[in-house]
Structures are given as C-alpha cells and as structure tokens.
Chain A
Amino acid sequence: MRRALTLAPLLAAVLALATSCGDDTPPPPEGFHLNLRFMSLDPTVLDRVEVIFEAQGTGEQFMAIEPMSYADGAITLEVDTNRLTMTIAGSNIAAFAEDQGDGSYVYDLEVFSDDEVPRTPAPSVRVIGVRGGEQIAEGFLFLPQWPLPLGQTSVVNVPCRMAVADRCIR
C-alpha cells in the first residue's frame, strides 16, 4: 500500500513529463502564395526565373538590404533602387513546378512582408523566364494589396513568348 502510494505520484510526474514533451510552438502562419503559372513552356528549359517586385507609389522604394539567398542558394533576393528582384534557379523551378495537366506548370512561391505601412497601389510583379540569356516567357501582375495578405494566393500567368516559341520546349 505504501509502495503504491509512493509510485502513484511518481507515475503522475512521469505523465507530466510526457505531457510536457512536444513542440509547444504553433506552426508559423501561412505566407502569401504567388503562383507562377508557366504556360506553353517546359519549365525544365529555364535557366532562371526573375520575379521583380516594383513599388508603384511616387517616391516609394524597397528598403535596401544586403543580398540574401534561400533554399540553399537556389533563390536569391536583392534590392536595386525601387525594384526588388528575386531570382530562382531553373533547377529549382524544374524541381518544384507541378504539372497542372493542361499544359501548364505552377510553381508556388511563398513570400510575406512584415511591412506595417499599407501601400496603395500595391507593388506590381513581373516574372521573366530566361533561357540562354534570352527572355522566353514573361508575366505581369499587380499584387492585391500591401502588406501581402497572408494565406491568400495570386496567380501570375507566365506564357511563352510567341516569338521564341521553339525555345520554350526541348
């Protein structure tokens, strides 16, 4: 009886320890999804894709930052005057672009901005697909709002340029 009374709190303490195990931090909120929809274009032919954010308001420009890289260097980020350029390596595009079954491929780029000042109009986004130094695809979009609405998705259609249609396939 005494041993049971002794073991009971011990067991309870062990259960408490087990309960405390695990991650107490909730997952981070979802960012803003910018879907790059490559149309009539084989994403494996791309050397790189440039995503250019451009502030629209007069006198607005992105805060200068040191060039950054993500995804083991597959994605780089740099600010040049009022343009923010994100460069995605072609291999990364080829790896993560998903075939939609309708001849298009969608690459999901998740970004966010912790800017507290809303900007109207919101910046625009221009997407350029490059192969061999040549722009073979291009898309354009005005972002729905700034700061970027978390959890929302906007699609940028990036069709192959008709003039270089043969360059968009292997």
Chain B
Amino acid sequence: MKRSHVTVAVALLALMAAAPALAQDAEAPPAAEAPAEEAAEAEAPPAEPPPAETPPAEPQAQVAPRPAPPADRRYARPRTPPPILVAVLPGERVAAEAVTAAREALVAQIGPMAGGRAVHGVGADQMVSALSACDGDTCVGSILAEAGAQAGVLLRLTRRGRQLAAALEIRDPVSGALRVEAPIEGELPTEPADLAEPLAGLSARIASAVPSAPAQPPSLLISTTVDGATVTVDGEDIGESPVAPIAIADGTHEVIVRLAGYRAYRTETRISPGQRARVDATLESMDGEAMGDGDNPFTSGDGGGDDDLLSQWWFWTAIGGGAAVLIAGIVIIAVVASDSGDGMPMPQQPMGIPLPAIQGGP
C-alpha cells in the first residue's frame, strides 16, 4: 500500500472522528447554555448528598436556575415564641401590694429560666378574675390559649390569719393540664418586700416545669461587596443588598447574587441546625480593571454576564474541528497533488549517466 493511501485513510479517519464529536456537542449542549426553563426542567436532582461543608465560594461564570426547592428546604419564617404568663390569684383579704410584689418576684425568677422568651406578668384584673373563677382545667387552658401563652404560672395566695399561704401551679394552655403543683410549706410574710425570699425556693420546681426554649432557627447572613445587588436563595428573591439575616432551614441552599455590570455570584452553602451562617459575595466587575482573572480578552463585557468565551463548549469544538478540517484538507490536497501524475506514469530515470540510443542498422 502506498504511503499516500495510508495518509488519505488516516485523514478520513480524523474527519470521521471529528464528526461525532461535533455532532454530540451540537445535539447535547450543556444545561448551562439552555434557556432557564429548559435548564430547570432538564437538571436532575443531585444523586449524591450535598457536601458536608460549605464549598469555597467562587464566582461562577454561569448560573443555571434550579428548580424550586422542596417545601422542607424553604427557609423558615421567623416567629416569636409565645410568652409565659405569670399570674397571682389572690384570695380574700390579700392585699393588692402583696399580689404585685409576688408577681414581680415570680417574673424576675422565671425570666432567666425562660431562655430569652417573654415572661408576662398578668396584672389585668379581668384576666385575674377570670382565672380565679375557673373551676376546671379547661377553663384555665382556654384563657391561657386565648392569651397566646405557652404556659401559665399561677400563684394562688390565700390569707391565713395574719400570714399568707401560697400554692404554685404551672398549667398548659388549651387543656389547662396541671404540669406542676407546688404548695409552699409554711406561711408567707405579709410584707411585700419579704415575699421574694420564700418564693425563691420555688425555683427548682419552676425550672423543671417551664418548657425549654426552642432551638433558635438557623440564620443566614448574605453580605455583598456592592450594594443594590439582587439576592436570591434557592431561587426565591430575598431583596436587594444589603439584606438582613434571614431565618433558614438547615440543609444546603443555593445563593445567587446578581448585579448588572458584574459577574453573577453563585455558591452553595450547607447550614447546620442552629447555625448562624454567613456568605460573603464578592462581585467582580465585567470591565477590565476589576476582573479578578486578569484582562481576559475572551471575556465579553457587554453586561450579559457569564460569557467567558474560553468556557464555551462551541469555542473549543470550533477550534478543534476547524483545525482538524484544515489539516485534513492540507493533507488531502498534498496527497492529490502528489498523486496527480498517477494517470501518466513517468519513467524513473536510473542512477548514473544516461547514454544516447543507438539508431540505424538493419
């Protein structure tokens, strides 16, 4: 087989090899190039669990919108925990000053135990009277539920002679179930200033009964180097920077920060329960001066964003395919040119000095 035939075969193989690569690229463009809706539909959920740590926040040249996160991944709305109501229910001939002093002493005592939740001392005569008039748990529970309380701490004061007697109840709302009942041994002093000390002995009982403070929901603070950027978390618009910390469910969340004239910033952050996470989004300007990767002439600065030419699939495909076609063309032309004399074979002159022919003779 002639070498030129081998050359043609290899060149054809090169073109055949280039064709499927070009075809595959053309048929299956990456999701990042597809329109947003198509990308959202085409992108399958991640097969692997999200990374255990927050990946390094790097500017992303292209941002493909994600499908809406499932309901359990949406960030939690901040809510104020319901308060603990403290009420002193006086019996007959109990001085109002003693009631007030006892209530204030209880509020001061329960406050530190409540984990930052509100502790309201009920001073309204109407509610106190209603609670005093209740003869069943349901009555008390309904009043506490109507007040939006998480629990009710009720101190019943009665007068025994010249002394006071007290009994502590901690009840649940709605059902009014008695969680703790703690009668106070002995008699209380009638002087309001002296009530704090005996009531302090109830601390242990109160602490065991007061519901523990719920865990703080995790929060996420997103800071940007440039104000006015649109911040989205899991596809949900949070607002324009600067944005306040948001309460968010634990798990992995996608944070995207966009601003005209800047590269879109995208990162994923994993938030643990109770974690107060922070994402610092550094926006890189599209103009040459602020480009983080140097003055890259292949990066467009038209504000469209995400147009890094070197990262485009068709750029490399065009380079590779074009070069392959060019080289193959040169090879084929050279082969054809070299074989063009095949139709008229030229006798090859032997080595040495040619001698003229002999003519004449018989």
Q: Chain A interface (Cβ within 8 Å of chain B)? A: 2-3, 5-10, 12-17, 19-20, 22, 24-26, 28-32, 53, 55, 57-65, 70, 75, 77, 79, 84, 86, 109-117, 119, 123, 146, 148, 150
Does the CB pair B6–A19 fall under 8 Å? yes
Judge if B39 is at the interface, Cβ distance under 8 Å: no
Bound Cα distance A166, B120 (Å):
145
Contact with A along B160-204 (1 / 0, CB 8 A): 000000000000000000000000000000000000000000000
Judge if B309 is at the interface, Cβ distance under 8 Å: no
Bound Cα distance A55, B358 (Å):
7
Does the CB pair B351–A2 fall under 8 Å? no
Does the CB pair B3–A29 fall under 8 Å? no
Bound Cα distance A57, B313 (Å):
80
Bound Cα distance A13, B19 (Å):
13
Q: A59-B361, A61-B358 are in contact. Are A6 and B4 (CB under 8 A)?
A: no
Does the CB pair B21–A8 fall under 8 Å? yes
CB closest chain-B residue, reference A60: B361
Bound Cα distance A114, B56 (Å):
81
Collect the chain A residues with CB atoms within 8 Å of residue B320's CB.
Answer: 3, 6-7, 9-10
Bound Cα distance A21, B103 (Å):
103
Q: A19-B10, A111-B353 are in contact. Are A60 and B328 (CB under 8 A)?
A: no
Judge if B108 is at the interface, Cβ distance under 8 Å: no
Does the CB pair A119–B355 fall under 8 Å? no
Does the CB pair A9–B18 fall under 8 Å? yes
Q: Provide the main secondary structure of the chain B interface.
A: helix
CB closest chain-B residue, reference A71: B353
8 interchain pairs (CB within 8 A)?
A3-B316, A10-B327, A57-B358, A59-B361, A62-B355, A62-B358, A110-B353, A114-B354
Collect the chain A residues with CB atoms within 8 Å of residue B361's CB.
Answer: 55, 57-60, 119
Interface stretch, picked from B72-80, B253-261, B270-278, B331-339, is B331-339
Does the CB pair B317–A113 fall under 8 Å? no
Does the CB pair B7–A12 fall under 8 Å? no
Does the CB pair B316–A16 fall under 8 Å? no
A51 → chain B closest CB, angstroms? 10
Bound Cα distance A30, B348 (Å):
11
Does the CB pair B327–A75 fall under 8 Å? no
Does the CB pair A115–B351 fall under 8 Å? no
Bound Cα distance A160, B351 (Å):
30
The list of the 5 closest CB pairs from A to B, nearest first, reads A6-B320, A31-B352, A9-B18, A110-B352, A5-B21
Collect the chain A residues with CB atoms within 8 Å of residue B25's CB.
Answer: 2, 5-6
Does the CB pair B360–A6 fall under 8 Å? no
Bound Cα distance A147, B336 (Å):
35
Does the CB pair B15–A9 fall under 8 Å? yes
Bound Cα distance A124, B313 (Å):
77
Collect the chain A residues with CB atoms within 8 Å of residue B20's CB.
Answer: 5
B356 → chain A closest CB, angstroms? 4
Collect the chain A residues with CB atoms within 8 Å of residue B349's CB.
Answer: 28, 112, 114
Collect the chain B residues with CB atoms within 8 Å of residue A12's CB.
Answer: 10, 13-14, 17-18, 324
Judge if B46 is at the interface, Cβ distance under 8 Å: no
Does the CB pair B14–A28 fall under 8 Å? no
Contact with A along B314-334 (1 / 0, CB 8 A): 001101110110011011001
Does the CB pair A60–B316 fall under 8 Å? no
B2 → chain A closest CB, angstroms? 7
Q: A6-B321, A13-B331, A16-B11 are in contact. Are A86 and B353 (CB under 8 A)?
A: yes
Q: Provide the main secondary structure of the chain A interface.
A: mixed
Q: Chain B interface (Cβ within 8 Å of chain A)? A: 2-4, 6-7, 10-11, 13-15, 17-18, 20-21, 24-25, 313, 316-317, 319-321, 323-324, 327-328, 330-331, 334-335, 338, 347-362
Collect the chain B residues with CB atoms within 8 Å of residue A123's CB.
Answer: 358
Bound Cα distance A75, B184 (Å):
141
Does the CB pair B4–A20 fall under 8 Å? yes
Does the CB pair B3–A9 fall under 8 Å? no
Collect the chain A residues with CB atoms within 8 Å of residue B362's CB.
Answer: 57-59
Does the CB pair A146–B358 fall under 8 Å? yes
Does the CB pair B357–A115 fall under 8 Å? yes
Bound Cα distance A114, B11 (Å):
39
A2 → chain B closest CB, angstroms? 5
Of B4, B319, B358, B360, most buried by chain A (CB within 10 Å of CB) is B358
Collect the chain A residues with CB atoms within 8 Å of residue B13's CB.
Answer: 12, 16
Bound Cα distance A111, B3 (Å):
30
B275 → chain A closest CB, angstroms? 37
Bound Cα distance A60, B14 (Å):
60
User: Which of these, B317, B328, B348, B359, contacts A16 with CB under 8 Å?
Assistant: B328
Bound Cα distance A122, B316 (Å):
70
Does the CB pair A114–B7 fall under 8 Å? no
Collect the chain A residues with CB atoms within 8 Å of residue B358's CB.
Answer: 55, 57, 60-63, 115, 117, 119, 123, 146
Bound Cα distance A119, B359 (Å):
10
Collect the chain B residues with CB atoms within 8 Å of residue A2's CB.
Answer: 21, 24-25, 313, 316-317
